Structure 1
Amino acid sequence: MATVDAKIYVHHYKNDGTCNVKIRIYHKNQYRFIDTPHYLCDKQLKKHPENKGEFLIKDHFIKNLVNTELDQCRLAISNLGFKLKLFSPDDLKSFLMQSDESIDFIQFCEEFISDLKELGRHKSAANFNTIKNSLVDFFRRKKVFMDEINVDTLSDWERYLRKERTMTRSNQFNRPITTVQKPLTNASIHNYMRDLRSLFNHARRKFNRKSLGVVKIEHYPFDEYKIVEAPQTKKRNTDVKTLKSIRDCEPAVSSRSELARDLFMLSFYMCGINAVDLYQIDESNIINGRLEYNRSKTRDKRKDNAFISIKIVKEAKPLLKKYIGNLSQRYTNIGGLNKALSRGMKEVCKLISVNGLTYYWARHTVGNLARNKCRMSKDDVALALNHVDHGRKTTDIYVDKDWSIVDELQEKVTKLLNQVEVDN
């Protein structure tokens, strides 16, 4: 049986002359401690008659508050019944700390986003931060409890997102900047709701411990609320003549358009490598004339850590040498690089008189040309683009990846670009 009592230790005396009252938990021959909000000064304490290292509470008001909290802990433990034996000392401490607390969803989001940033997942952190900020705008407060995220809220939030909205954010100098946001499209609504659902699921995984019979978040509004379907993605690939125009255009030296042109072509030569991976790689990723790395977008979701090995073809060598290891010094985070690429590609589009091309078109173009012009199989295209094939997971256990297939696809696609010069 687990027990709880109040403890005030002499060695916990603070510089301001106060001591914190702690709840001590004894379970499975181990102690755990929970800080309380009660800090007592000398006149509220008296020496323990038997233990010189402890104080006792003299203040009757505080003593009654602490006794009430202890009774609540004992009741929570008693209600666990036989499940108590499943709890480790840490589990029990966590359970008692959360048993009477309403979960602040915004606080959870902030902690979760902070963890993502520490893991280097800045793109995901930025997406989730957008959702958190939107909820704060919608509720007009910075504390939103889990039970407030319900079916009615989701419907109201969707209507809110479909209207013009005014929002205030701090700029890089921590000054408030107010902007007017246009109504979101179906595609954006889908993404917002998808990301909110993901945050909600992460919260359920953190606070619900079904194996221990602890379910802090019982409701799940996404069972009833139907997220609007995302419209079919517009094809984002271009032809080889446009590729040649991008490669041969002459933007200003050291400009964002030069950066965009170079990285677009580097992505094309290197089988559609993502900008975040170009941002993260360095010289250590070059092994025997190949670029070997784990794709950032999916490395935490795959057993092979999304590893891929790409041959550094001659066209890519000067570009890779120019930018490898430099992008992370030039930009504080991937968000800064993405903004520069976005603006740079708009300038490139003006130079070659086309509209709408973005950096990501390079990746789509590799796949499209490999399949439709070079007649490579879809499996080979998926391998080169480092996609996971959910339908062939079992087969992948038996079959090693053959990077020469990727080399063949890379060579054929690159030759298409060179062939245009011959034809012309």
Structure 2
Amino acid sequence: MNTNIKLSLDTRREKKDKSYPIILRLTHFRKTTSISLGKSITLVYWDEKNEKIRRSFKGTASVSKLNNQLLKEKTRAIDIINELYEKNELNFLSILQVKSKIIRKVSFASFFDYSNSIIEELNKVERYGNANSYYAVTKILKKFNQGNDLKFNEINYEFLKKFEQFHYSRGNSTNGLAVYMKTIRAIYNKAIKAGIIPKEAYPFTNYKIKTTPTEKRAIDINSIKSIMMLQLKETDNLFHYRNYFLTSHMLYGVSFIDMAFLKLENIIDNRIKFFRRKTSKPYDIKITSQLKEILVFYTKDKDKSDFIFPVIKRDTYELQYKDVLWARKRYNNGLKEIAKKCSIDQRLTSYVSRHSFATQAMLQDVPLQAISAMLGHNRLTTTQIYLKSLPSEVLDDYNKKLVEI
């Protein structure tokens, strides 16, 4: 094996009290690096040959106990190295990668610490939606765990069942629990892939995440027409919310966040071209006469770099993302008012335009593969979830045809 580790003093970093940090000296293919153990000692009390603190040291109640702690850290590091060697991974890692494997075992024994590190990384790459999902899980788990830290080994089948009971005791839904559990599972899978915890620790082998069918989100074509024909003044906020809904429907059911970030520069040769933020799928949609009527209103006297819709007000992406979240909340409240004005009994939200587009496409015999591409889905199964239930009136028509044969 071309890798070894030993306890040593880092004599390059003398402290004010003349002591030196106690480190693990890692050597990997003739390269060396150090891993600090958070303790320091003066040179006279360090036994370099035997890699331990001399008995004459008076800075601790028990020198033996301190040496055992240091030896334990070295043994743990050796175990990690041996495990990497047995998996035939060690020779294909750089020294910094080996060091990272050892450090992470210490730093991320806490589920919360590791989750927070993921959140930080997601925020750095401006994936604020995913970051918020991870943050929501850590927040509710901290409340469930009464503010105490949570170790990876503590999240087992029994823990998940207790968290499930806690969730339901607060009057929450099965699908709400599924969102939390899927996020916990995603964090666990990342930790396993990073070598922070072993596969054997995976708590979802026996715990199955359950979901219940959601209410029908699509509305029929008559409801869409009633929204389109609704008379509203330009000074009324509902005027904009109606236009957002119709624009989303005419742009393949585009999400509110993608629509909010559209700029005039996305309009090219009577088409709207952009990338979906969630999947990076490219869109290239022809502007119909109905859509053009809406766009003309919002693009008047604007520059190419301006946003089309009056949703985003601030400069940095993080603040712009918050602008969109707040606007979407107001938008959904506005859609409730529009539903009342149009006598639509079904709950109207920003997602309804997307589901309605998919359902109408299906009713027009558009192939499933085409609907999937228009929605920007990576998998047909995702599209099938959107279309899992035909509207009741369609089934009634089919039944009528069968009966009249």
Q: What's the TM-score, normalizing by structure 2?
A: 0.73
Residues in 2 aligned to 1:17 and 1:61: alpha-carbon distance in whole angstroms = 14
Structure 2 residue 106 is matched with structure 1 residue 106: no
Residue 266 (str. 1) matches residue 247 (str. 2): yes
Q: Supply the distance in 2 between the matched residues of 1:23 and 1:61 (Cα, whole angstroms).
A: 21
Deviation digits for residues 340-364 of structure 1 (CA, Å, limit 9, x no counterpart): 2222212222332334111211112
- In structure 2, the partner of 1:93 is 99
> Partner amino acid for 1:6?
S
In the alignment, the residues of structure 1 paired with residue 279 and residue 321 of structure 2 have an alpha-carbon distance, to the nearest angstrom, of 22
The answer on 1:327 being equivalent to 2:311 is yes
Instruction: Give the equivalent residue in structure 2 for 1:219.
Output: 201
Report the CA distance between 1:19 and its aligned residue.
6.5
Indicate how the Cα distance of structure 1 residues 218 and 270 shifts in structure 2: closer, same or farther if over 3 A, else same. same
1:158-179 Cα distance to aligned partner (Å, 9 max, x none) = 1111112xxxxxxxxxxxxxxx
The 3 A distance-change label for structure 1 pair 39 and 252 is farther
Instruction: Provide closer, same or farther for how the CA distance between residues 382 and 9 of structure 1 changes in structure 2, counting only shifts above 3 A.
Output: same
Structure-2 residue corresponding to 1:150: 156
CA deviations on 1:234-267 (whole Å, 9 max, x unpaired) are 3222233322332343556565533321211110
Question: Aligned equivalents of 1:99 and 1:6: distance in 2?
Answer: 20
Following the alignment from structure 2 to structure 1, what is the Cα–Cα distance between the partners of residues 218 and 40?
65
Contact 1:346 / 1:357 at 8 angstroms: preserved in 2? yes
8 Å CA contact 2:28, 2:95 repeated in 1: yes
Q: Output one character per residue of 1:13-60: Cα deviation in whole Å (capped at 9) or x when no partner.
A: 68x9987554432221222222332367xxx567x9xxxxxxx99966
Distance 1:308 1:378 in 2: 17
Asked if structure 2 preserves the Cα contact closer than 8 Å seen for 1:256 and 1:340, the reply is no
In structure 2, distance between residues paired with 1:35 and 1:284: 52
Over 3 Å counting, the alpha-carbon distance change for 1:245 and 1:150 in structure 2 is: same
Note the residue ranges of structure 2 that are not aligned, 5 or more in a row.
47-52, 300-306, 315-319, 382-405
How far apart are 1:367 and its partner, in Å?
A: 1.8
- Is the Cα contact below 8 Å between 1:23 and 1:70 reproduced in 2? no
User: Which residue does the alignment assign to 1:51?
Assistant: none
Q: Partners in 2 of 1:354 and 1:122 — Cα distance?
A: 33
Give me the CA root mean square deviation.
Answer: 3.5
Structure 1 157/308 Cα, relative in aligned 2: closer, same or farther at 3 Å? same
* CA distance in 1 between partners of 2:165 and 2:14 (Å): 53
**Separation in structure 2 between the aligned mates of residue 39 and residue 350 of structure 1, nearest angstrom:** 71
Number of the residue aligned with 2:28: 27
Question: How many correspondences in the alignment?
Answer: 348
Matched, 1:387 2:377: yes
Write the mapping of 1:188-337 to structure 2, written as runs, cut at 5 A: 188-208=176-196, 215-216=197-198, 218-228=200-210, 230-251=211-232, 253=234, 256-299=237-280, 306-317=281-292, 319-320=294-295, 321-322=298-299, 324=308, 326-329=310-313, 332-333=321-322, 334-337=324-327
Q: Tell me which residue corresponds to 1:212.
A: none
Q: Percent identity?
A: 22
On the 8 A contact 1:260/1:359 being kept in 2, the answer is no
Name 2:71's counterpart in structure 1.
Answer: 71
Q: Is the CA contact (8 Å cut-off) linking 2:273 and 2:284 kept in structure 1? A: yes
Q: 1:400 corresponds to which residue?
A: none
The structure-2 alpha-carbon separation of the partners of 1:285 and 1:17, relative to structure 1 and needing over 3 Å to count, comes to farther
Distance in 1 (CA, whole Å) between partners of 2:39 and 2:335 is 58
Query: How big is the shift at 1:382?
Result: 2.1
Q: CA deviation at 1:78?
A: 4.6
Match among 119, 124, 130 for residue 118 of structure 1: 124
Structure 1 residue 370 displacement after superposition: 2.2
**Cα separation, 2, equivalents of 1:248 and 1:254:** 17
Please list every run of 5 or more consecutive structure 1 residues that lacks an aligned counterpart in the other structure.
Answer: 49-55, 165-182, 209-214, 300-305, 392-424
Q: Which residue of 2 aligns with 1:346?
A: 336
1:367 aligned partner: 358
Amino acid in structure 2 at the alignment position of 1:378: L
TM-score by length of 1: 0.70
Q: Which residue type is aligned with residue 263 of structure 1? A: Y
Query: What SS does the aligned partner of 2:175 have?
Result: helix
Match of 2:37 in 1: 36
**Counterpart amino acid of 1:364?**
H
Q: What amino acid does structure 1 have at the position aligned with 2:152?
A: M
